[in-house]
Amino acid sequence: MNIHEYQARDLLSSAGVAVPRGAVAKTAEEAEAIARSLPCNSFVVKAQVHAGGRGKGHFVDGYKSGVHLVKTPHQVREVAKHMIGNTLITHQTGPEGKPVHSVLVGESTEIARELYLAIVLDRSSGCPVIVASQQGGMEIETVAEKKPEAILREVIHPGLGLQPYQARKVSIFLGFPSTGLRAPCRLLHAAYRLFIEKDCSQVEINPLAVTKGGDVVALDAKLNFDDNALFRHKEIQDLQDPSQEDPRDLAAAEHHLNYIGLEGNIGCMVNGAGLAMATLDLIQAAGGKPANFLDVGGGASEAMITAAFRLLQADTTVQAIFVNIFGGILKCDLLAQGMIAACRSNPPRVPIIVRLQGTNVEQGRKLLKESGLPLIPAEGLLEGAEKAVAAASGKKGM
Ligand code: ADP
Ligand code: MG
């Protein structure tokens, strides 16, 4: 789960990380009032969306950048007016962008150096890892690609935690003098504590700024939480913002479906994560692109099947649906009933390819046949995938 920058900086600040003064505003008037209350003479106005790359982004109406530095409270108001209610597009939002409902108004910091600092879960070592670079700011992706030696990765033993020598090593790599390690080390320990205590999958501070006055301040913050641990953190769950989520993901979560939206046009309904992955691979191998990963699971009820099928039908990018079920605990006749119920209330708009095997397959096929639904049957896996690809591209001869 993602949260907004203004929420992330509150959490960092409570953990002991210095952040610039500021507050969130939902209207242009509020934004101006916040600016007037800040004891400074230049301000930053930042669009709040669940995506990075805002500085280099643009709004759908052509207005440039989701991060503006301005001199007066009146200008803060003008910028906020442009941003709130607008949609920001960055390289992380996809072409449709994300809606801006609030802005963070803060004091502008005099930056001497922009550093990069993140703590993420590293799959290869199975440990948290600190990722640090002196070349922080808006070009970090380029640094990672072109100058990997400018990035330090320090693996933390989860049982031992961040060791003092590791905090010093990272701080020195970040260019702090050996006489000035206290502030960055304290910050690293605070960020690591937050990462562990809140079950984060990512704490990213980019830029971590060294100010002209020598302070170390988090100017941007992105926190990501492990969904499977959210039940332990009611206070984090409350930070959820549905306006920033893919509506397909929201509908799936409501029905406890394992669903991930993808970019293609073939909707998939499969039981079992392994078969679902194999189905995506086969669609790809047959020259098509899946619109989603959807594992209805072994113990799916008829209502869940109906909800899953409705979800695929409601997705306007879907041009064909491939139902690939290997009946085990989930019986094929129950699946057929769920599909039929979904199609009764919502007549099929696109071709549906069905491959059923396993428990109660005969009853399932019979139910589907008698339903009179215009389904395209398939026996084998590859055959099903090929028929789905042909149907999605509008080819005859299926
Ligand atoms: P994003 O990563 O989404 O582009 P950032 O919050 O990192 O957004 O802002 C982009 C750039 O704007 C930063 O790299 C920094 O140079 C500048 N910036 C951000 N916040 C401040 C601030 N409070 N004072 C001065 N400059 C800032
Ligand atoms: Mg940033």
3-state class of 321 per DSSP?
strand
- Please tell me if the CB atom of residue 20 comes closer than 6 angstroms to any atom of ligand 1: yes
Indicate if 256 and 293 belong to the same structural domain. yes
Q: How far is the CA of 146 from the centre of ligand 2 (A)?
A: 19
∠ CA 304-307-312 to the nearest 5 degrees?
Answer: 125
Indicate if 336 and 291 belong to the same structural domain. yes
Considering its fold, how many domains does the chain have in total?
Answer: 3
Kindly identify the ligand whose nearest atom is closest to the C-alpha of 117: 2
Q: How far is the CA of 219 from the centre of ligand 1 (A)?
A: 6
Would you state the pLDDT for residue 395?
Answer: 66
Give the model confidence (pLDDT) of 297-355 as tens digits.
Answer: 878 888 888 889 889 988 999 999 999 999 888 899 999 999 999 898 888 999 999 99
Indicate if 269 and 372 belong to the same structural domain. yes
Q: Whose CA is nearest to atom 5 of ligand 1?
A: 220
- Please tell me if the CB atom of residue 105 comes closer than 6 angstroms to any atom of ligand 1: no
Q: Does 397 fall in a domain?
A: no
Q: How far is the CA of 49 from the centre of ligand 1 (A)?
A: 14
Kindly identify the ligand whose nearest atom is closest to the C-alpha of 206: 2
**Could you tell me if 310 and 346 are in contact, meaning their C-beta atoms sit under 8 angstroms apart?**
yes
Indicate if 153 and 229 belong to the same structural domain. yes
CATH number of 67's domain: 3.30.1490.20
- Please tell me if the CB atom of residue 219 comes closer than 6 angstroms to any atom of ligand 1: yes
**Could you tell me if 7 and 224 are in contact, meaning their C-beta atoms sit under 8 angstroms apart?**
no
Q: How far is the CA of 161 from the centre of ligand 2 (A)?
A: 26
Asked which of 66, 82, 107 is the last residue of a domain, the reply is: 107
- Please tell me if the CB atom of residue 128 comes closer than 6 angstroms to any atom of ligand 1: no
Asked which of 237, 259, 283 is the last residue of a domain, the reply is: 237
Edge to edge, what strands does the sheet with 258-261 contain? 258-261, 292-295, 266-270, 320-327, 352-358, 375-377
Q: Does 330 fall in a domain?
A: yes
Q: Does 73 fall in a domain?
A: yes
Q: Which DSSP symbol is given to 213? A: T
- Please tell me if the CB atom of residue 55 comes closer than 6 angstroms to any atom of ligand 1: yes
Indicate if 258 and 381 belong to the same structural domain. yes
- Please tell me if the CB atom of residue 220 comes closer than 6 angstroms to any atom of ligand 1: yes
Q: Does 29 fall in a domain?
A: yes
Would you state the pLDDT for residue 229?
Answer: 96
Indicate if 254 and 224 belong to the same structural domain. no
Minimum-distance ligand 1 atom for the alpha carbon of 52: 3
State the alpha helices, DSSP H only, in 147-243: 164-173, 182-197, 234-237
Indicate if 304 and 264 belong to the same structural domain. yes
Residue 232: give the domain boundaries: 111-237
Q: Whose CA is nearest to atom 13 of ligand 1?
A: 137
CATH number of 256's domain: 3.40.50.261
Compute the distance between CA of residue 205 and CA of residue 276 in angstroms, rounded to an integer. Answer: 35
- Please tell me if the CB atom of residue 297 comes closer than 6 angstroms to any atom of ligand 1: no
List, run by run, the mean pLDDT of 10-residue segments along the chain (398 residues): 97 97 98 97 97 96 97 98 98 93 97 97 94 92 92 97 98 97 97 98 97 96 95 96 88 88 94 94 97 89 88 92 92 92 89 94 94 92 96 71
Q: Does 4 fall in a domain?
A: no
Would you state the pLDDT for residue 200?
Answer: 97
Indicate if 100 and 127 belong to the same structural domain. no
CATH number of 214's domain: 3.30.470.20
Indicate if 261 and 383 belong to the same structural domain. yes
Determine whether 114 is an active site residue: no
- Tally of CB atoms within 10 A around 334: 21
Sign for the pseudo-dihedral over CA of 383, 386, 392, 398: negative
Would you state the pLDDT for residue 397?
Answer: 41
- Please tell me if the CB atom of residue 44 comes closer than 6 angstroms to any atom of ligand 1: yes
Q: Does 63 fall in a domain?
A: yes
Determine whether 192 is an active site residue: no
**Separation of CA 95 from chain center:** 15
- H/E element holding 131? strand 127-133
3-state class of 83 per DSSP?
helix
| Amino acid found at 231 | F
User: Which residue out of 32, 204, 259, 386 is catalytically annotated?
Assistant: 204
Q: Which long-range contacts does 277-285 make (Cβ < 8 Å, 24+ apart)?
A: 278/381, 279/322, 279/324, 279/381, 279/385, 282/381, 282/382, 282/384, 282/385, 283/322, 283/385, 283/388, 283/389, 285/382, 285/385
Indicate if 306 and 387 belong to the same structural domain. yes
Asked which of 63, 83, 107 is the last residue of a domain, the reply is: 107
Indicate if 229 and 253 belong to the same structural domain. no
Reading phi first (left if > 0) and then psi (alpha if -120 to 50, else beta), residue 114 is in beta
Q: Does 187 fall in a domain?
A: yes
Q: Does 2 fall in a domain?
A: no
Indicate if 265 and 227 belong to the same structural domain. no
Kindly identify the ligand whose nearest atom is closest to the C-alpha of 217: 1
- Please tell me if the CB atom of residue 114 comes closer than 6 angstroms to any atom of ligand 1: yes
Q: How far is the CA of 91 from the centre of ligand 1 (A)?
A: 16
Q: Whose CA is nearest to atom 6 of ligand 1?
A: 220
Q: How far is the CA of 90 from the centre of ligand 1 (A)?
A: 14
User: Which residue out of 6, 30, 114, 116 is catalytically annotated?
Assistant: 116
